[in-house]
Structure 1
Amino acid sequence: MPTHSIIKGNRPLLSLLIIVFITHLGSYLVLPVLPILLKVETGLTAAQIGFTLAVISMFMQTGSVVGGILADRTGRRFIIAIGALIRAAGLIGFAYFSTYYLVLLTAAVSGFGLGLNAPSTKAFISSLVKEDMRSTAFSLRGIFANIGMALAGLTVFALFTDNSRLIFITAAVIYVSASIISWFFLPAGCGDENCGEVKWSEYKEALKNIPFLVFVIATIFVWALYVQFALVLPLRAESVLKNGKDISIIWTINSVTVILVQTLITKNIIRNIHPLTSVGLGTVFIGLSLGSLFFANTLFFFVFAGLFFIVGEMLLMPTLDTSISQLAAARFLGMFFGLASVFTGIGEAIGNFLGGRLFELSAGGENAAPYIVYALAGVTIFLGMQLLRRWRPLTIIQPPKPADTASPITDSASSHPNPIKES
């Protein structure tokens, strides 16, 4: 079925995709330059910047779990709308607060609002389309997200390089508009599903799934390495480029690359190798990308490192989501993804904290030590994943079927994966 057919006549889905575009536009106005702004204009050290990003990650995952549970029990529209407003409040705080403790408070508010949106949006998409069309719907979500990310990076590069406060204010206004659209154009309730069907006592079922727990605990190391890109690349660019904010264009290039190349990588690599091998290869690419930043002294080299990173991300993201869906109990799928987000947050928080400290102890990234650590970490995680795939309980994880990976879905996603990534 053509992708336009799934949208035609389904106004709630179209509204939700527009919200996904808007929220990614708002987030990625901020993401590429946040470490630079915190260093240059707020005066934070690399360690303090790392801890600030760690706070965003921790509260984002807290919001993700809280939002996922509340959305399934009370309805998703309200959670998406209130999450966008809370996120907007946090962005305004970044524009006006310069005291470290107020910046941390702002980071907590911003992260919590961001976390409320992600599980609600994914659950909403699932409830608005038939089961056999969900992969297409999530693919559209990825496309809308990456368009927002690409446009945001281009906007910062072209317009906002000399007005940092305006970046945060604009992003906050964008999130307020997402909240308004959510409230007036999305249906109340839980779509075709009944809210509140899962009993509170049933949530403990996830804790009995040992293969799932082992897998998500292992991903802590993956996320700790992955999150270094959004921390180290801007700080390194700020120290070697005339205008460090120019690296915002990298996010535009990466998003366009995802839209053009993800399907090819999925068809030719991800579907033909073991998922844990795909995850391991992704971390190797990410580790080499981070390691190469030691030699970066031009915008072109930073773009090259970004492309290497995005190849790793494209191997990583759809594989992790598909593997979790295979390990999770179908009835508790939302809860399992919520719990996986907790471990993602732990990995991101550890990575941001240690990355900030490592960057500061290495004379602001001027010696090779942190870059060697990043490269070695990527290879070590690859070897660990190869050992893990030999554990019999994890043999349930298999390469995804074509319906599981229809097209580009690597936005945070995630995710998000990334301290600022979301629905």
Structure 2
Amino acid sequence: MNIGHGLLANRLYVFLLAGVLFSHLATYLINPIFPIFLEKNRGFGIGQVGLILGVTSFAFQIGSLLGGFLSDRLGRRTVMMSGAVLQGTAMIGYGVSQPLAAYLAFSVVNGIGLGLFAPSVKALIVSTAGVENRTTAFSWRGIAANVGIIIAGLMITLLALEANRRVFFYASAVLFLLALLTRLTLPNDRCQGESCRRTPWRDYKQILMHRSFVLFSAVSLLIWALYAQFALVLPLRGEHVLGTTSRIGLIWTINSVVLVLMQGTISRLILERINPYFSLLAGTLLIGVGLSSLGLADRFFTLSLAAIVFIVGEMMLLPIWDSLVGYFAKEELLGAYYGISNVVTAVGSAVGAAVGGNLVEQLGGVGSRLPWIGYGVTTLFFISVLGLFVWYAKDRHGRGLPQSTSGIPILKKEKVK
């Protein structure tokens, strides 16, 4: 990846990457074992596990909207700190709770905290990196995130962290440390004084009137519904095949190592050279193939191969998606645009987790072939819908749709009225 633009010499950008690393370290101490913990230790069914994960995604919508709105008033540093503290509190709640209602309540807290943190970081990355470095900046964000995932996976494996409650306390400690580091390293950007601009609600209405962004967001719902399945089914399928949870974290570690090694090359040779919508198509296809392949995996090696296919799809998808949101956004409304885009992420993920969990359960569970066939059929349907969108965007509704994410877009940006 080309770092000649001086991104890594920018202290604020490096601090943001460190925050992304810590956030993902905490998250992936939990993700590989959370569904198994809920199923084995708390006795919840797969449908209830999907509901808990779906509630987190739904609460993420609320947090994202609040984060986008409050960042203009309280500053992004304050919003990010608040998000990390809420997530840390939720981790403690997960560790000490028993009934389903308690897990649903703490999932709300966790989702709101994540929603406050994530869009503020993305908005700061865009404003810090600049237009010409946007795709590269988000690729480096992906690398930092996966370094955190690598560390988490190694901790799970080396410390033999099974599905028990102490891992939640470790994650909580990381999140409270993240809040402290955010307070100490990021500048105070709170808007003060009579000249301070307050974002009115009518600006949010303008975003919803931005046709190209709304169309892009609508098809993104399908992508995120499919993407959300991985965190739900990999731990359950891995435990079914391997009979243990400690090695599942190692699969995430392998994925992250692959991403760290390959993301720069993929960004430089592919993402910055082709139409971004074709990248979305290719990434979605690979994600679906990876999910379906989990059903054929019968050992650690084949589970890892299926996960690697998924992660290559993620490398094609996520930097482009984040970059396109920044492309559509007005500079003064970056937080609001990323807040809305994270609502899209949350809605798709919530529907995907809740519906996916119930379908897997109805089709015989992770030991049956039927759910994995279902993922394949669903992927083909989603690819068809996305293909129609790409055709429509390119040939019928080109306004506001770029042909590349490097340099100046070939097509002019649609103005928000």
The reply to whether TM is greater than 0.5 is yes
Query: Where do residues 4-403 of structure 1 align in structure 2 (5 Å cutoff)?
Result: 6=7, 8=9, 11-128=11-128, 137-162=137-162, 164-190=164-190, 196-391=197-392, 392-394=396-398, 396-402=400-406
**Residue 245 of structure 1: SS of its match in structure 2?**
coil
Deviation digits for residues 237-265 of structure 1 (CA, Å, limit 9, x no counterpart): 12221213311111111111112112322
Shift of 1:300: 0.9
Residues 14, 331 of structure 1: alpha-carbon distance in 2 compared, 3 angstrom cutoff:
closer
Shift of 1:396: 3.8
Would the aligned equivalents of 2:135 and 2:319 in 1 still touch at CA under 8 Å? no
Deviation digits for residues 4-28 of structure 1 (CA, Å, limit 9, x no counterpart): 95555x5544433322221111111
CA–CA distance in structure 1, aligned partners of residues 334 and 130 of structure 2: 16
CA–CA distance in structure 1, aligned partners of residues 129 and 296 of structure 2: 48
Deviation digits for residues 158-184 of structure 1 (CA, Å, limit 9, x no counterpart): 214336222110000011111111223
Shift of 1:268: 3.4
CA–CA distance in structure 1, aligned partners of residues 135 and 224 of structure 2: 24
Structure 1: runs of 5 or more not aligned? 405-423
Residues 129, 345 of structure 1: alpha-carbon distance in 2 compared, 3 angstrom cutoff:
closer
Residues 281, 168 of structure 1: alpha-carbon distance in 2 compared, 3 angstrom cutoff:
same
**Residue 198 of structure 1: SS of its match in structure 2?**
coil
Shift of 1:133: 5.5
Shift of 1:185: 2.7
Shift of 1:124: 3.0
Letter in 2 for 1:86: L
Shift of 1:267: 3.4
Output the aligned Cα RMSD: 2.5
CA–CA distance in structure 1, aligned partners of residues 199 and 151 of structure 2: 40
**Residue 102 of structure 2: SS of its match in structure 1?**
helix
Residues 353, 378 of structure 1: alpha-carbon distance in 2 compared, 3 angstrom cutoff:
same
CA–CA distance in structure 1, aligned partners of residues 202 and 379 of structure 2: 39
Of residues 83-92 and 327-336 in structure 1, the stretch that sits farther from structure 2 once superposed is 327-336
Letter in 2 for 1:213: V
Residues 60, 103 of structure 1: alpha-carbon distance in 2 compared, 3 angstrom cutoff:
same
CA–CA distance in structure 1, aligned partners of residues 285 and 135 of structure 2: 28
Shift of 1:397: 2.3
Shift of 1:360: 1.1
CA–CA distance in structure 2, aligned partners of residues 195 and 309 of structure 1: 44
Would the aligned equivalents of 1:247 and 1:302 in 2 still touch at CA under 8 Å? no
Deviation digits for residues 369-399 of structure 1 (CA, Å, limit 9, x no counterpart): 2111111111221121121122222464234
Q: Which runs of 4+ in 1 moved over 6 A?
A: none
Residues 326, 17 of structure 1: alpha-carbon distance in 2 compared, 3 angstrom cutoff:
closer
Letter in 2 for 1:101: A
Residues 12, 87 of structure 1: alpha-carbon distance in 2 compared, 3 angstrom cutoff:
same
CA–CA distance in structure 1, aligned partners of residues 295 and 48 of structure 2: 22
Which residue in the other structure is 1:421 paired with?
none
Residues 356, 11 of structure 1: alpha-carbon distance in 2 compared, 3 angstrom cutoff:
same
CA–CA distance in structure 2, aligned partners of residues 281 and 13 of structure 1: 29
Letter in 2 for 1:15: F
Shift of 1:226: 0.8
CA–CA distance in structure 2, aligned partners of residues 35 and 75 of structure 1: 35
Letter in 2 for 1:220: L
Of residues 62-71 and 388-397 in structure 1, the stretch that sits farther from structure 2 once superposed is 388-397
**Residue 269 of structure 1: SS of its match in structure 2?**
helix
Shift of 1:211: 2.2
Shift of 1:72: 2.0
Deviation digits for residues 170-229 of structure 1 (CA, Å, limit 9, x no counterpart): 00001111111122332212599x853533322211121122212211111111111101
Deviation digits for residues 107-143 of structure 1 (CA, Å, limit 9, x no counterpart): 1111111111112222333445566556555444333
CA–CA distance in structure 1, aligned partners of residues 266 and 380 of structure 2: 20
CA–CA distance in structure 2, aligned partners of residues 80 and 174 of structure 1: 14
CA–CA distance in structure 2, aligned partners of residues 290 and 3 of structure 1: 36
CA–CA distance in structure 2, aligned partners of residues 334 and 223 of structure 1: 20
CA–CA distance in structure 2, aligned partners of residues 257 and 139 of structure 1: 14
CA–CA distance in structure 2, aligned partners of residues 11 and 270 of structure 1: 26
Would the aligned equivalents of 1:274 and 1:398 in 2 still touch at CA under 8 Å? yes
Deviation digits for residues 73-129 of structure 1 (CA, Å, limit 9, x no counterpart): 221221111111110010111111121111111111111111111122223334455
Would the aligned equivalents of 1:75 and 1:195 in 2 still touch at CA under 8 Å? no
Shift of 1:148: 0.9
Letter in 1 for 2:22: I
Letter in 2 for 1:369: L
Residues 14, 315 of structure 1: alpha-carbon distance in 2 compared, 3 angstrom cutoff:
closer
Structure 2: runs of 5 or more not aligned? 409-417
Deviation digits for residues 31-85 of structure 1 (CA, Å, limit 9, x no counterpart): 1111111111111100000010001111122112211210122212211111111
